[in-house]
Homo-oligomer: A and B are copies of this chain.
Amino acid sequence: MSLIVQKFGGSSVATPDLIKHVAGRVAATRESGHDVVVVVSAPGDTTDNLIGLAEQITTSPADREMDMLLSTGEQVSIALLAMALHTRGHRAVSLTGAQALIRTEPVHLRARIMGVDRSRLDRELGAGRIVIVAGFQGITDDGEITTLGRGGSDTTAVALASVLDARICQIYTDVEGVFTADPRVVPEAKKLAEISYDEMLEMASSGALVLQTRAAELAKQYRVPLEVRSTFVDRGGTVVTDRTIEGRRLVTAVTHDRNVAKIAATGIQDRPGIAHTLFRAIADRHVNVNLIIQSVPQAQGADISFTVARSDMAAAVEAARSVAGEIGARDIISDEGVAMVSIVGAGMITNPGVAAQMFGVLARNGINIELIATSEIKVSCVVRADEAEKAVRVLHAEFRLDED
C-alpha cells in the first residue's frame, strides 16, 4: 500500500465545517487504498490571535514561551480533524510534533528539523490508522517544544514524506496551484501544470507563498514528489518534479514579495573579512538574508546593501549596528518601502539575454531598480513597493506568460 502525505494550511482548517470538508478529502484518499499521513496548520487566525495575546503582555516575549504558546494552534487542528475522521468511520490518531518524534535543533521560532524517528508513525500506520501530525512544531532532545517558523507546516509535510518514502506529498492550499504570477495582481495569470524543483525553490524564496522556501529546499534535496493543489476545488494542481522539460519558455513565472526590507551599511573601508563579520552577526540572530549587493569601492568607501524579511528588519539593523564600528561603517540605513520582483525560469540558464530584457521593460515603464540579484534561473530586482504590481504586470506581458 503506497503512502500519501497531505498537508492542509490554516485557511483549509479555519472552521469546524472546513475541517469536516478536509476530513472528506482525507477519507477519499484513504478509501482509494492509500496509507495517509496528514499534516495540518493552526486553524485560520489562531496563530495571529495567540500573537495578539502575547503582545498584550509584552513587546519582547521570550522565544521559548512564544513556541509554547504558538504550538497550541496545530494541536487544536489535529484533535478536531481526528474527530471528524472518526465520525466518517475511519481510524485516525492525532500526534503532536513531540509525539511524532520530529526532532529539531534547540532553536526557538525557526528551528530546523534534524531528524524524524518513524517508529511511532509506523506503529500507527501499521495499526491501520490515518495519522494526523501537528505541523510547524517539533521537539528538542531536551524535550523542549520548538516551532519551525513561518510556513513550517510545509516543511513538516515534506520531511515526513521523505522519511516515510511517500509516493507523493500533496500541499493543499487556498489556490489551485503555482501560477505564472499572483492572479490577484495579474488576472490573466495561468496555472502551471508542472515546474522543476529549482523553479519552485526560486519562486518560493522570491515571494510565491504557495510553498515555504525551506520546504521547497528539502523537497529538492530529497527528491520528494510534490503537488500543490486546492483544498476547495477538486482539480489537479501543479506537480513539482525533477524532470527536465524541453522546449520550455525562458521565463516560467513572475513573482513579487512585499515582505522585504532593505538595509545598507554605508561608507565601509573595503578590506577582507568585512562581509563575514557583518553577516555572521546577522546569522547569529537567526535572520535570513535574501539578496546581497556590494557596491564598487570609491573614495568615500563601499556600501553593502541587503534585504531581509520585514519582521526581521529590527533584528538585522541591531546586528549591523553592533558591528558597525568593527567594519568601519559610516551609517546603517533601513528602508521598508521596497518590494522585490523576480522572473524565474529553468530556460534562463542557456539564454543570457533574459536579464537585460527584464531591465529594459522596467526602464521603459519608468520603474527604477534599486538592487539587482541573479541566480542561474532567477533575476530579482528591488523596486519601490508601490511600483511592484505594475512591474509584475509589464513583465508578465513582456514574457507572454498569458499565452499557452
Residues of A within 8 A of B (CB): 16-17, 19-20, 50, 53-54, 56-58, 61-62, 64-66, 68-69, 71-72, 75-76, 78-80, 82-84, 86-87, 93-94, 96, 98-99, 143-145
Q: Which of B19, B71, B143 is within 8 Å of A57, CB to CB?
A: B19
Contacts A58-B83, A65-B82, A75-B75 supplied; 17 other A-B pairs, CB < 8 Å? A16-B56, A17-B56, A19-B57, A54-B80, A54-B83, A57-B80, A57-B84, A58-B86, A58-B87, A64-B93, A65-B80, A65-B86, A66-B79, A68-B75, A68-B82, A68-B94, A69-B79
Establish whether residues A57 and B16, one from each chain, have CB atoms under 8 Å apart when the complex forms: yes
Secondary structure call for the A interface:
helix
| A88 to B, closest residue via Cβ | B58
Q: Which of B19, B57, B86 is within 8 Å of A83, CB to CB?
A: B57
Give min CB distance, A37 to chain B, whole Å. 17
How many copies of the chain does the oligomer comprise? 2
Q: Report B-chain residues with C-beta under 8 Å of the C-beta of A143.
A: 98-99
Cα–Cα distance between A288 and B71 once the two chains are bound (Å):
34
Of listed A17, A76, A83, A86, residue having the most chain B CB within 10 A: A83
Q: Report B-chain residues with C-beta under 8 Å of the C-beta of A20.
A: 57
Q: Report B-chain residues with C-beta under 8 Å of the C-beta of A64.
A: 93
Establish whether residues A83 and B61, one from each chain, have CB atoms under 8 Å apart when the complex forms: yes
Cα–Cα distance between A178 and B72 once the two chains are bound (Å):
34
Cα–Cα distance between A62 and B94 once the two chains are bound (Å):
11
Q: Report B-chain residues with C-beta under 8 Å of the C-beta of A61.
A: 83, 86
Of listed A72, A79, A84, A98, residue having the most chain B CB within 10 A: A79
